[in-house]
Structures are given as structure tokens and as C-alpha cells.
Structure 1
């Protein structure tokens, strides 16, 4: 049986014609004999609505309204219409929302239902708030409060008032409302109201320049939203936290929330979801309009029996207009779906671009910050390593020597750590590109192995190289980065292998004309890596376990650098390992060969002993401690020196004196080392200039050489490297020049 409505003719026509309008709502409560049948549907629809599952909420409410209509439960039907109004408002379908709120309003004219009247006022208030009429909205909410004392209804009014006060900048009033909802006893929406309250507080504290408290409330909102699957609130919390963390300079955390934001938007604001919700909403709207037509038909039959021709004519007119309206709405909605789909695509692209820009900005800020820190650490670290070296050279006592060696080890460890961070930052910031120059692979591998022989001896481990002689002797690639890859892989293998063997394998897989594919492997029989640890071993600061880190030390960045460097060559590192059996790291590289070049290159590294006595150098350095250390290191080798504290002094001294070499600091106030070198080269083309620099993210070795530097030594440096560079650039260059 279909429920009959009692209206006069004019009211009936008005009710049918208002089917083209729309607007909003909250939720309702009905206490009568049929409540137990309908209330579970209302509660389920509310849960779906709070989880942003609007299509499921609409379907559930549709069932509730069918039951209410079947059982002639007027109050439950009014509640259904109010809930429909809220859901359609959330979908942005104002005309549909108004349709249902108007139907509820028409029914409220015929029955006494204070809660329904209160809900009608609440809907009006929310509509006014959405239109920007904040003060009128607050007045309507005050009227709604007077009509019902329902706890859930009152809590929703408090939440809406809080948002309006926040919008008006009345922070004390908003704070009072939000705080009252943080710990609420609402039976139906306790978690949801607390989540919205924390979100409101987070926005309030952000506007009040209190980012720490804003973060606290934002994290509380996110935790509640995640626990209860409030998808829209998860999105809002991530958005708020990303802005707040960025404001406080916590760019790593801001980046995490920004990435979450992109992922969540992709999952809950998809075109398919919008289409599904639109189809469900339109279907239910059309069905309800169809039900209205059926009700009119039944009423028409009743009136026909009573031969009320005037009323029949009115009903026919209303039914005809309803059908025409239904067709018009259907055509209009189909067109709107197309338009909104296009708008969604454009909005989505814009949002993704904005999110991407924010992520890139946060990443750049983090990279530059770490680069600056690592660069600034090099200056005091130079003093630590330099003074340690000088003290060890001055015949300390055995007790002092033990402490100085420990200090030297710590300095070297810290230097390696800083270098690793700088290397990763350069890769992340796209500051590194592989070179393409001619080199001999066997020589590169031999140099790496020779440089690590001391570490191998300390662990009583043997390094074996298995080199395929079919590999062309002259290849084109970046030998420096390949050296770094093998230094990290072999060094890592040696660290975890004692009394064992490390193999360095290079094989030719394929050669077609000048295209060469090579296979590389670094294998050891050390402690091995478990299957679980292998999943994260290439991530930054990962060493398998805390116990491994404590026993073997290190930063856990070596394999991360290998992975990143191989990415520059479009290659991927792979791993096979068993606990106690050792590990094998392998990868393939595609290179170009130079078949036309034939040259036998000796592979042994020879360290030359130079006689520095009688040399006179210029030290260009603005840091007083570094001046003293560098001068004392030169004095140890019987080298005299002059000191220039800035670039201007360096140019003046170079014009008025003859030096065997110039040690040029790059980063100085005023004229930089590069600029000073360019000026010196205008009148002196022969004197070797060696750049001494605590290299940073934006430094380029190519720019140093372009300015006129003969070589580069990175601070802090090992003394043997420092002396070797001086000897090579003074004595070896003279021999080369004499021979030519």
C-alpha cells in the first residue's frame, strides 16, 4: 500500500512542481512503533556518509524511505528526505537537495514534529553558510537549537558554528566549540565529531601562528580518521599537515603528507567514483519522481470514482508537468555529467601539478639543507683531521698515539659519512650526469682493488679479480662513477667478510660492432643477508639489523649510492645471498667500445716520492685555523709559503711574487677562488693552481678547470693525497713541458 498524503489542490500542485529544486541536511531520530525497522538503515547510511561512500549511503537511505512509506511512518519519511538533502548537498547537487528539503517542508505543515522543524532550520543555516551569509547562518542555528534537544543534533550545530566562527576569524568562540567536541559522548558520531573538531583546531592554530599545536591536532585528526576510515577527513588532515610541516621547515614530513594527499585523491576522487555517485543519485531521484507520478495516478483514480472533474484536471496538469520536468532533468543531468567529468579532469590535472610542485619544492629544500650542513661540517673537520695528522707526526707518547689514532679514525669515519650524504643529495637533485669519455676498464678495477688491499689485509681476506680478456681495452663511459660503484661494493664485501675471499668478476656478454654489454659481479663468502633484510638493504641507512650496525659500523649508505649511480646508467643492482654463505651483487652495463684504439696501458699504481725541499707556495685561505694547519703541513716537507686571506690578496701576491704552486680555496667572502683564478690566469699561465674546496651540491669540477685550475683536492683531505697532488702538478708537469 502506498502512503496517501492529505493536501489541498494548490498545495498538491506546488509540491509536485517543486520537484526541480534542491538543498541539504544532517540526520534524524524517530521514536514510534516502526523505529526499530528503519533506524538501522539510518545508522548504516550515516556510517557510509562519514566514510565518503555516498553511493552506498544513497542506496541505504532509499531502502529506509521505502520502508517508511510502506508503513506510513511520516516522521521517518521526513527524516529520510532530510538525509537525502544532506547527501545531495555533499555531492554538489543543490537542485536535488532542495527537492527533498521542500518535500519534507511540505509534510511538516500537516504534522507536529519539533525535531523535523529543527532539522529544516539546520538545513537553512547550512545553505546560508555555503552561500557566504555567515551571520544569517548563525541566527538560523540559534533558532534550530530552540526546537530540539537531541544530543547528536546539538553536536552537529556546535561543529557547524565552530566552522563559521573560524571562517569569521572569531577564534575564541571557535576554540570553545571545537574543544567541547574533542571529547564528546555522542552515541552515533563520537569519533567523526572528534576528528572534525581536531581538524578545526589544527586550522585555527595554524591561522594563529601556533604551528606546533596545529601539528598536534592535525596528527590527532589523521589518527582518528585512519582508524575509522573517514576518507575525506584523511585527505583534509594530510593537506593541513603538509602546509604546517612546510611552514615549520620539516620538509621530509611535509613531503610524506603531500605524497599521501596525491595517493588519497587518486583513490577517492576518481572519475569512475564520481560517475557512480552521479548515476546512483540520478537514478534514485528519477525513481522518487516516478513514485510521485504513481501516487498522482492513484489519487486520480480515486477522484475519477468521485467524479471530481476539476480536481482530475488539476492532477492531470500536475502529472504532465512532472513528466516534462522529469525528462528535462534527465537531459540536463546527462549533459551536466559530461561537463563535470571534463571539469574533474582539468581540476585533477591542476591538483596533481600543484601537489607535484609542492613535493619537488620540499625535496629541493631538504636536499639544499643537507648539502649546506655537509658542506659546513667540512671546515671544522679539516681542522680535526689536519691537527691529528700533525700531532701524529710529532712523535707523541704511546698513550697519546692511541688516542690520536682513535681521533683520526673518527674523523675519517665522519668524512666518509658526509661524502656519502653529499653524493646522495647530488643524485636526488639531478646534479650528477654520467660522463662519456674513453677509459680502460681493467685499469679502473685494478686501481679500486689496490686501494682496498689494506682493508683486505686487516680482515685477512683475499681480493680476486676474474677479468674477461675479450672485453675491449678502450671503452666509453664514466670511469669515476664506475670506480665509486666498485669501491662501495668491494668495500662493503670486505667489511662483512673475515678470513675469506672477495671476487670481482667482469665478463663480456655481447658485442655488436661498438655496442658492448658487460656483466659485473662482486661476490663474497661473508656473513650473508637474510631474505627479510634483502628487501630493504638498498634503502638509505639500512644495514640489515641494529646488531650488524653495532658490530661492523658504517652508515648504510654505500648500497644506496650504488643503486642510485647505476640508475644514471639505466642499470639495476641485483642481489643473491644466504645467511652464513655470503652474498653476490651483480648488474649489467651497456657501453660503447673504441676498437680503433690500440694501447697497452700499465695497470700498476705507482706512488712517487717527491723532494719538496726549497719549494715556495701561496696558500689562499680565509679560515685562520685552516691557514695554520695547511702552512704547518707544508713546513713538514720543507716547503715555505705565503698566506693570502682572500681573493684580492691572492691576485696581488701572484703579481708581485713567483710561486711554484698556488693552493686556492674556492669558497671565500668577496672574490671567490674561481674568480681569483681567472684574474691570475690573465697574467700567469704557467704556475700550477690547485683548488682546495669543501665541495658543495652546486659546485662543479668542470667550472674549476674552466677557470684555470690544474687540479682539485677536496677538504678535508688525506695528507698523502695532498702531497701527491702537489708533486704531480709541480714536478710531473715540468717534466712533460721539458719533453715537449
Structure 2
């Protein structure tokens, strides 16, 4: 059944509607005999998509709503999000724009819960299409630009080409009279779309491109060419309609219609025969009527009692539903309050942390003495760890749901562990505890994995051992267990001779906010989050934490981890990539406007830019920023979000009213997961979360300034 539905979906995308109908018919027959709501909903969604391509929007909506009702019961969130998206597109096509927005918001809510990045990206395209149909081309272009970037990164070529065509249509709706080059931008966008379409043989998009090309030719005064292109469009469109009609016609079985007609004639003859026999039974029927009336009376009484019972049950159910709705509203309010708290506390924590990491970077760049460099590198490492720790603490639910992604990069494991021990040396010295490292020399020098998350795990485990050990030793052991092809299995042990953990407490020590006891909390402090984060990170990396401990004798935490060994070419490629990621010579002399209200952050950002020979001007608020952009010719704007007066988002919207081309990057300490759509809609080109690594900072600026050059 799944194979039939998959075949139907693939056939729709290639305009093979006859085969799609055949496969859907087979899937429909099979799904009737299977008690699986998810399968039934999937078949309905594919059928709705087919009707949408046929432009039979009323039938598509009817089928899609039926699928939505089933998916609400089955709670299959990903499919429900897709169904809401389809319903929004149907409403956009039928000019019901407000209703479309509602369905897009419903789909977006599910995508945020399930962390569905592809769904979020598809919504950028759908919302841009909705704004285009509503007659809001500027907002539509912002959506399409964001969508093009995401589709390009995901390698989703069909959607990227569709976005580029619609972006061209939106640009053609804008006025070129104020010196803007919207017509030229539309031509570029269409050219990029055609490159993809010709490579991938996207027939439907090729036909749509003729219409857009005719609009461009008309704007350029090339009437004959525009007429020729429009004629190509209508001719090809007619051929698609013929395919639609052929597919629908071939799905009608003529033999079945004849059989149904024969059956109706046979039934009619049987009815005549029955009527002739009925007269002989009239007397019997009359005698049975009295008995039937008596039975009906008894049934009526029974129904009356049952209805009373049902009414009472319904009233009770209504009361329970009311209670559930109230509980749901309370939970939603609590969730909203939590989200607002996290957003605020994130900003308040990241702002001073940006000052710490930024000043550390500047000090390292000023050629410090060797003994100072070691302390500064330790401070830099601790700052990076603290940023990662803040992110995980503030979004612990996301970590427990395995929504955090494991990255892969080449690193030196021994150096990473030494960095952890250096960072914790001061704490160990305060407790007169010695840190030791026993490292197996058979372990490859270079490994491929997520060094930051591994550092988080080790710094939590070693830090925990140091905290509970006085005048003792904390030993980190790393040994090679096995090696298969290009994967090595390693054993990590962190052992101490501290206070130890009771058998009873060992069962809950890895739970969130769990500590040994109230006395331990008062004596040693801490949040009780460290070991919980370790447990979740290891599960994310397909491993498990183990504990051996006795009170008064110390503890040993251990885990095994499979880590890849990179190819020599991969190591070289990574070094080459890191070295050539940014052409710093091209950034020299660029004029940058930094919009930031915090004086320390202004100084740090300005110095980082000026050390790279870039010129910098600072605005304290959004109002001054708007004025400076009007009066000066900046190459790029770095815009903070939380500022007195108008916010960075409001300032960007106002700048886009008179300047649609200047690159604007959000340089912000707010949590961006829930605000991406708002940033792109306002007209930002990209986002840099604070605090940042200077390499990422310059890479984002370089990619934004030279986007067109990098894409060619």
C-alpha cells in the first residue's frame, strides 16, 4: 500500500497523472481493509495533492479536511503539519488569504514543536506566495529570499526554482522609477531558475517560466518577443490541461458502467415479481402489525430511558471537557510564560558573555606573553563552554527530546582533554586535589566528531568529581577498546577518591535538578543539571553513562564512545576550508554601520572590525540608524534587536521602505529559534547570535556581501 502511495506521489511531480490515479485507486482499495488511520490519511493527502494539481480546489479541500480530521485523532504531527500547509495553499489559490494565514500558522506551530526544518522552509515559500497573491510584493520578496537560501542549503532544487520564479514575478510588481533595478533583479532570478529547470527537466516550471519571461519582455518594450513567449505559455498550458483530461477520462471504467445498468434492470424485474407476491401476504402483515406496534412501544420506552442516561453521560462529559480545556489553557499560559522568561534570561546572560568572549579575543590578538596566552586560551575555552552550557540549560527540553544535532569536525582528542583539565585546574588547586590524565598512545591523533559536546561531557564529569573531592586525586583515563575500518571505540573513565554516592541516590543522580542531598547542596552548591546534561548528550551520541561508587571511597563514571577516524584528504580539506572560508582582503575598507546600545559591545564590535581594516560607524538606537542609512553609503549594517526606542526589527522595516538592497545582519543576543520568520519577514539578510566566534562573524559578513559571487 505504501509503495502504491509513493508511486502516486512521484507520478504527480512528473505530471504522469494517469499512472498516479491508477496507483491511488489500488492504494484506496487496500486501505479499506486495513485499520490504520495514518495510512488512510497519507492516501487522502496524496489524493488531495492530485486534485490540487488538477486545479479542482473544492474537491482537494474536501479530501484534505477529511485527512486533517483523521490526523488530529492519530496525532501524527508531521503529516498534520503538511495537511495544514496544503489547505493553506488551496485557500491562497482561491483568494482566501486570511484563512490561508491561519492554516500556515497552525503548520508553523507544529514545525516548531517537532523541529521540522524542511516544514519551516516550505512555509517560507507558501507565505511568500500568499503575500504575492495579496499584492504585497516587498514582503513576498523577503520570504522568497529566505526560502531560496534554505532550499539551496538543503539541495531542494524544485522548490528553489519555484521560489526564484515567484521572486521574479514579485520584483516585476515593484516600481523602478526611484533608481531601483527591480527589472534587472527579476531577469537574474528567472535566469537562475531556468538553469535549475533545464538541468532537472521540470516541465511544469518550464511552462510557468514562459509567462514570467513574457512579463519581463513587455517591461523592456519588446512586444513581439513578449507575445511569442505568452503564446508558448498558453500552448504548453493547453497541453497540460489535455494531460489532466486524459488522466481523468482513463480512470473511468466503461465495462463497470454497463454492468451497473444491467444490475438496475435485474433489480427492477425483481421488484415487479415481489409486488405480485405481496398481495398474498397482506393478511399476514395485518395480523403481525398489532404485534409490531406492541414491540415498537416497548422499544420506544427503552429508547426514552437510554436517552436519559445518554443525556446524563453527555453532561458529565461536557463538564470533563470544560475542565480539560481550562487545564489546557493554564498549560499554554505556563508555556508562554516559560518562553518569555527564557527569551529574557537568554538576552541578559548572553550580553555580558559577549563582552567576556569579545575582550578575550581582542587580548589574544594583541600578542600577549606566553604565560598570559595560556590563561587567555583557558578563558576563551571556558567562555565557549559557558555559552554552550547556557544554550543547553535554557533549552533542556529540546536536549531531552534529542532535538540537538551532533556536529562533525576534525579535532585532537588529547588536546581537548588537556584544555578541560587546564580550565578546571584552579578549582582543583583550591580543593588541594590533583588532576591526572592517562591517555592511550594507540588512539589516533586526529578524530572526527563533535569536540564541543565531548568537552561539555568531560567538563561536567571532571568538575563534579573535583567538587566532591578534598585533598585527593581525580583521574581521567581514555583507552582504545577496538577499531573497525575507520571507526575507533574508546573507553572514558573519570575516577575520584572523594565522598562517594549512596546506592539509593545513584538511581536518581542523573535526573534534572537532582543532587545528593540538601546538606550537599548547601555545602557544595550547584544546579543539579550537569549530570542530566551528560546523560542526554551521551544518549544523543548513541552511548550511555555508567556509575560505580561507594560512600567514603569515591566514584567512577565511565562510558564508551564510537568516534570516526577522518581520511587524510578530509583533514586537508577541512584545513583548506577553514583557511579559505573568508577572503579578508576583500573585506578591507568596507564601511560598516553598527547599531548597538551597549557601550562595551559597541567597543568590542568596532575593534574586531577595525583590526580587519574595516571602517566602522556606531548608532546608539534604531532612529539614528535610519537617519545614518539615508545620509551615508554603507556596505553593510549590523543591527542589534533589543534597543531603547524602536527595536532593531522596526528599524529594519523602515530602512527597507527606502532601501531594499543594503545588506542587514541581525547581531543579537536573543534566542532566534522562534523568531526566524519574523527576522526574514522584516528584511534581514542573515542572523549572527551573540556571543560569536570571530571566524563565524566574518564568514557571515563575507557570505552576505559576496552572495552572488559565491553562488556562481
Shorter-chain TM-score category? 0.3 to 0.5
- What TM-score does the superposition give when structure 1 sets the normalisation length? 0.39
- What TM-score does the superposition give when structure 2 sets the normalisation length? 0.40
Which structure: greater helix fraction?
A: 2
Bigger radius of gyration, 1 or 2? 1
